[in-house]
Amino acid sequence: MGGKHNNPIGRREIVGEDCHCPLLQTKTDDKVVVELQLQNHDGSNCNNGSSASFSGSVFNLSTTIIGAGIMSLPAAMKVLGLTIGVASIIFLALLTHTSLDILMRFSRVCKAKSYGDVMVYAFGTHGRLVLQTSVLINNFGILVVYIIIIGDVLSGTTSTGIHHFGVLEGWFGEHWWTGRAFVLLVATLLVFTPLGFFKRIDSLRYTSALAVVLAIVFLVITAGITLVKLFNGSIESPRLLPNITDMTSIWNLFTAVPVLVTAFVCHYNLHTIDNELGDSSPIQPVICASLALCSTIYILTAIFGFLLFGESTLDDVLANFDTDLGIPYSNSLNDVVRISYALHLMLVFPVIFFSLRFNLDDLVFPSARSLEFDNCRFSLITTGLIFLLYVAANFVPSIWDVFQFTGATATVCLGFIFPAAIALRDPHSIATKKDKVLSIVMIILAVFSNAVAIYSNSDALFRRHQ
């Protein structure tokens, strides 16, 4: 089981015993005719039956990138100011491209079919264990944030001490059936559960495309409202630089880092998308197209969101869309903005859930047969995870707190520290001097900035409780 076998998509092949993927075998003339399974335990594909399209891959990767993080970007602008905020988004996009490029180049050399395989080649089985734990923490935290935002949109939030009404409360008033717990229960049963039972990520290409469209709808409406108010002269000049008054305010700048990091991490789904392409050559254009699309949406959302609400921008900017915006049809536009992005998150949910489920299965049942062929285990794990996500989302009050601790730990490891460590380890001696310099820079920046972010946010939480 030590070697890797790179099987072309959709073909049957005669191989020896060193094929890495779990097999369904029959003997034929002392050779083994195998049908490679649809998925590895960590979600990577050995055989798909058909290749995914370029556009479908771009949408799936973009959907992995664009998630709940976009809703906290205007709040990050409030912390950093527009100039440093926009520069930070561009810098993180370039750094993400570097880390993805390193990850895929090392994957090609060791013929790895998953992020976990690359970690095994570089650091042994302990590397895979650390990676899978990070994926579980990251994806679970992100999905909890998704459900919290959907609860904020539909049932309102009081995380800041002031109640912001949700869409259902605005339409029907406050009732038990417009309450957070019940609304999230209905969404979990009717939306998250059916989408969570898809077994192949390319099956989600249409929902991913719709999710990206909904994110653009949110952006277009927000930009339109902001531009109308700019022409009316009802928007104050934005703050271009951070508001620094003392040492605490300097440390507070670093709290925006985990939010920005979380906004770009997509590494755990990259190999799955790459494997389903069939031909590995388009993966670089897929990465570039996805990062360019997402960076543009991020920058515009951050700018227009901060311009629109200024210093009253909340951690979840969707919660701001519950008041009169001072333009015609304000209430209708508020509802369209919030509902469109709630639907976006519902459609993004299964893409992130996909990796969460397979990594949990591989961690808990490393010797079991493929999850794809065990319907009972697949159903139990899927149902159990969705239940835990529902419970967690009802107890965590704010998405900013989740971003701070998952973004500053597991997320930054997945996106920057692990790829940089792989390049520095360089098990196949392919890393260039530039790779190693960039890797050292990535690790130093990631460790320092996120350590400060954890300290600053912990101190803020402590003061808040006092």
Dump the DSSP string for 60-123.
HHHHHHSSTHHHHHHHHHHHH-HHHHHHHHHHHHHHHHHHHHHHHHHHHHTT-SSHHHHHHHHH
Confidence of residue 94 (pLDDT cuts 50, 70, 90): very high
pLDDT at residue number 1: 39
Distance CA 155, CA 47 (A): 43
Higher pLDDT among residues 291 and 405, named by residue: 291
Nearest CA-CA partner of 32 in 42, 45, 18, 43: 18
CB neighbour class for 236 (10 Å; exposed up to 12, middle 13-18, buried from 19):
exposed
- Rounded mean pLDDT, 25-43: 36
CA atoms of 137 and 411, how far apart (whole Å): 8
Q: In this structure, what DSSP letter does residue 26 have?
A: E
Query: Contact at 8 Å (CB) between 204 and 198?
Result: yes
Q: What is the pLDDT of residues 241-251, one digit of tens each?
A: 887 777 777 77
Distance between CA 75 and CA 309 in Å, rounded?
10
8-state DSSP, 164: B
Residue type, 25: Q
**Chain segment 332-383, per-residue pLDDT in tens:** 888 888 888 888 788 778 878 888 888 888 888 878 777 777 888 888 999 9
Measured in whole angstroms, the distance separating CA 451 from the mean position of its chain's CA atoms is 21
Domain ranges of the chain: 1-36, 52-465
Confidence of residue 254 (pLDDT cuts 50, 70, 90): confident
Q: Which tokens is 427 given?
A: 């098990």
Taking the complete model, does pTM exceed 0.75, yes or no?
Answer: no
**CA atoms of 397 and 145, how far apart (whole Å):** 10
Lowest mean pLDDT segment, chosen from 23-27, 47-51, 173-177, 338-342: 23-27
For residue 362, give the nearest of 115, 146, 2 by alpha carbon: 115
Q: How confident is the model at residue 205 (pLDDT cuts 50, 70, 90)?
A: low
Cα–Cα nearest to 123, from 448, 444, 442, 424? 424
One-letter amino acid for residue 166 of the chain: G
435 pLDDT higher than 90:
no
Helices of type H across 278-329: 283-309
Write out pLDDT tens, residues 118-133. Answer: 898 889 888 889 988 8
Please give the structure tokens belonging to residue 250.
């300097």
What's the CATH number for 52-465? 1.20.1740.10
